[in-house]
């Protein structure tokens, strides 16, 4: 999906105001009740806070030999990243580290925002030092991907964390987990999420001021 086809949304503003649970609630309200990845995927490296951006998908499959062009597909994929992309990779079929520090560094240089890897990563401490590229995954392992797993294709739909994700879908990830918003509903759902976050702020203040939970529910219908 080209960058010109993504909605014009101020992602930094959205990340300051809303978060994965708010987006999940909005999706629920609209009948999209299966938009969160399973809880085994969590932030492993990089800053806390809300990661939001447009999915760029990749499928990494097991291989049994070192290819002639080492890391060839990985290089092509990362060099194709654009500003505001979030890498979404299925590498669930073999527990080798499909993502690390230098891939993260190269992605930052392309303007990408973070990565969600259904599999292993490595170089956790080094990614932490980058300060601006959160990486979500199943776990960490020092085993290199070379000759073990390799990107087979990218920008095709992938199954990650039990959910099909397409390039161009909106990814919202934080310490609660990962919510995926279908591309064609992104502008609508972002608007509703911002409204819901504002309502929750009002409800929170009413509770802090001594309001009863029952009254807050009757007034705002959020919990």
**The domain that contains 106 carries what CATH number?**
3.50.30.40
Q: Which domain holds residue 120?
A: 3-183
Nearest CA to 153 out of 55, 66, 77, 78 is that of: 77
CA distances from 97 to 5, 101, 111, 117 (A): 32, 11, 22, 10
pLDDT at res. 218 = 87
CA distance 190 to 202: 19
- Does some domain include residue 191? no
Give yes or no for residue 178 having a pLDDT over 70. yes
Let me know: does 171 contact 86? Beta carbons within 8 Å.
Answer: yes
31 is a domain residue: yes
Summarize pLDDT for 75-85 with one digit per residue, the tens: 999 999 999 99
CA–CA gap between residue 35 and residue 50 (Å, rounded) = 17
Inside any domain, residue 196: no
Residue 58 β-bridge partners: 89, 154
Asked, for residue 68, whether it belongs to a domain, the answer is: yes
Share of the chain above pLDDT 70, in %: 98
Q: Is residue 197 part of a domain?
A: no
Is there a domain that residue 219 lies in?
no
Domain count, the chain: 1
Average pLDDT over residues 108-116: 98
Q: What is the band of 1 on the pLDDT scale with cuts at 50, 70, 90?
A: low
Contact 55, 84 (CB under 8 A): no
Residue 179 lies in a domain: yes
Among candidates 206, 215, 172, which has minimal Cα distance to 37? 172
C-alpha 180/C-alpha 189 separation (Å) is 11
Domain membership of residue 193 (yes or no) is no
Note the pLDDT tens digit of each residue in 198-223: 988 888 888 899 988 898 788 888 87
pTM: 0.93
Q: What is the mean pLDDT of residues 37-59?
A: 97
User: Cα separation of 20 and 16, whole Å?
Assistant: 12
């Amino acid at each position: 999906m080209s960058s010109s086809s993504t909605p014009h949304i101020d992602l930094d503003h959205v990340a300051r105001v809303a978060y994965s649970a708010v987006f999940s609630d909005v999706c629920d309200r609209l009948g999209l009740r299966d938009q969160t990845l399973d809880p085994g995927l969590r932030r492993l490296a990089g800053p806390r806070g809300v990661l939001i951006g447009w999915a760029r998908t990749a499928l990494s499959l097991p291989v049994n030999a070192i290819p002639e062009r080492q890391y060839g597909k990985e290089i092509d994929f990362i060099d194709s990243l654009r500003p505001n992309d979030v890498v979404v990779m299925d590498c669930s079929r073999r527990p080798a580290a499909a993502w690390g520090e230098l891939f993260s560094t190269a992605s930052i240089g392309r303007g990408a925002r973070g990565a969600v890897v259904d599999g292993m990563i490595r170089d956790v401490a080094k990614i932490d030092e980058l300060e601006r590229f959160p990486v979500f995954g199943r776990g960490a392992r020092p085993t290199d991907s070379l000759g073990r797993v390799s990107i087979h294709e990218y920008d095709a739909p992938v199954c990650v964390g039990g959910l099909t994700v397409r390039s161009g879908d909106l990814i919202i990830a934080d310490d609660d987990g990962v919510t995926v918003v279908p591309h064609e509903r992104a502008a609508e759902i972002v608007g509703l999420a911002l409204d819901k976050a504002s309502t929750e702020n009002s409800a929170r203040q009413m509770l802090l001021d001594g309001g009863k939970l029952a009254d807050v529910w009757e007034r705002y219908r959020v919990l």
